[in-house]
Chains A and B, each alone.
Chain A
Amino acid sequence: MTRKLLTGNSAAAWGARLAQVDYIPAFPITPQTEIIEDISIWIDNGEMDARMVTLESEHSMITAAGSAASSGVRVFTSTSSQGLLYGMEMVYTVAGWRVPFVMINVSRGLSAPITLEPDHNDIMAARDSGFLQIHCATCQEITDSVLMAYRLAEHKEIRVPAIVNQDGFYLSFTREPVELPDADKAAAFVGEFDPENLQFKGSAPLSQAMAVLGGGPYSYFRYEAHLAVQRVLSVYDEIADEFADTFGRRYDMIDNYQMDDAEYVFVMMGSFATKAHDAVDSLRNAGWKVGLARLRIFRPFPQEKIRQLLTGRRAVAVIDQNISMGMGGVLHSEFATALYGMKDAPAVLASYIGGLGGRDISQQEFFEMINEIKQACDKGEIPHPRLLYTQNELTEMRKLQAIAQAEHADINQSEIKQKETNKK
């Protein structure tokens, strides 16, 4: 076991290396690119026995990832944001092929307006595709989750691709100490890829990804994929136990912090949850019974675990780092679905949208949210959904707008002056 300072991107590349992948179709995009740079150096130096090919787009990259996995090799790939959306047709398609492979998504806000900094709207767009989704909060978790993702994706009763998600900049470019699993142990944990029938060979004719006619076969295959994704819920703990036994680190589907007696709960995904972690410590010191539930496995959605976890809590603040236009936070509506009609469900399930495009969430805001959901409980009200945005930010924004509209404003002012002159 080696301890190294690694960025999230290097941690992801190490995951691929330790999983002994055969094939890496690639395409550069910020903030993901370092992953493929690391891998290409290792391949060139002979430290990694794999083949990497740079495609001409993410659409082609995900096609090649799927078709290689359909031809019997272990595949790793990575993308981000616009790239994920450019390849989105194939994200859905290859999931339907029921081919196991692992793709890193380095979350980054979507255009427009174009930005480089993180939020989760990109990965939410893949929500309904049939890919598993694991969301990481630390660099260590990225390496470890890649290994676990192969076990889940390649499970004989699952066989779907998986996305391991990390936040751009906050993880991708941030160095943290990572305990790299021993190569032999990692190889033994992940095991050799047994493609079974997923391979083309001259002596065994096979058609894959064929068309269907009519809704009957279509519904069957689609629902079967849904059931396959859900099967993760029943095999996950066993794989997590084995990982913990081998490497000493245990990852649950939901990463709970101070949840045992928590009356008020933050729900989050990704690296911004580490900010909530600190806030929980401060609030606990001040005597508040506060906890944090960080959802790691987003697809399949661990509905039962969530129900068990939140039974009897007073109030929940769901912080979405995404926004579904015209609806609000995606995670919030999913939690509402999970909790609806449940006996002893929290009286308040409040929705907060924050951290869009890398916007920070301050400690003060965490305190304010807890205060607000407590007040709501006390008064028996449901708070309105809120965007985390300060007066200060709005003032700064107004300044930018004034600059952007400088010419227009000048004309208006000169018109006003003109009118005033005329009056005189």
Chain B
Amino acid sequence: MFQTVLLICLFSLTVSFVVALVRIFMRTSTVSDRVLLIDSIGFIIIGMVAILSILLDTTAFLESILLIGILAFLSTIALCRFIERGVVIERKRGD
């Protein structure tokens, strides 16, 4: 019963994953939309890993939660800087 509830939750997270993917590939969405949805896909994957580690009864996957969180945050920051300024790493102009 407990496992059934967890499987239902995993399925619902998959539904929201697919919704975000569809929204990314829609023609009417802007670049900022896509960055936003990639960020939220990262969070959905974190939730999936947490539910999976309850289901499989292991603590081996808990590092990957931290890693995926850090990677999603850093990639979001890099994409935002690219959208806003056209460069990711700014250098000082020598004068």
Partners in one complex: no
Could you list which residues of chain A lie within 8 angstroms of chain B, going by C-beta atoms? none
B residues in contact (CB < 8 Å) with A = none
